[in-house]
């Protein structure tokens, strides 16, 4: 699989980043959520993890997909 860089929001202590991996998925690099109160509110399967990202990072999402406009 080939990652395609979409954008980065540099913040002190890290750089949350957004990538396109294929027509159905994005990969998001962010901050590991460790707050027990937050984690207690979630049902996270063993094969998944939770990260936090700045809302500003979402501005890097493409407005249109290669195969046409996004629904919604």
Q: Where are the domains of the chain?
A: 4-63
**Confidence check: pLDDT of 2 > 60:** yes
Name the pTM for this structure. 0.74
* pLDDT digits 0-9 by tens, 23-67: 889 999 999 999 999 999 999 999 999 999 999 999 999 887 654
pLDDT at 13: 65
Band the pLDDT of 71: cuts 50, 70, 90.
very low
* pLDDT digits 0-9 by tens, 13-30: 678 999 999 888 999 999
User: Which are the contacts of 51, defined by CB distance < 8 A and separation ≥ 6?
Assistant: 28, 29, 30, 31, 32, 33
Nearest residue to 9 via CA among 61, 46, 44, 45: 61
């Amino acid at each position: 699989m080939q990652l395609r860089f979409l954008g980065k929001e540099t913040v002190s202590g890290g750089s949350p980043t957004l990538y396109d991996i294929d027509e159905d998925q994005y990969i998001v690099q962010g901050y590991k959520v460790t707050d027990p109160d937050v984690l207690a509110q979630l049902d996270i399967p063993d094969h998944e993890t939770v990260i936090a990202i700045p809302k500003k990072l979402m501005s890097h999402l493409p407005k249109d997909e290669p195969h046409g406009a996004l629904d919604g």
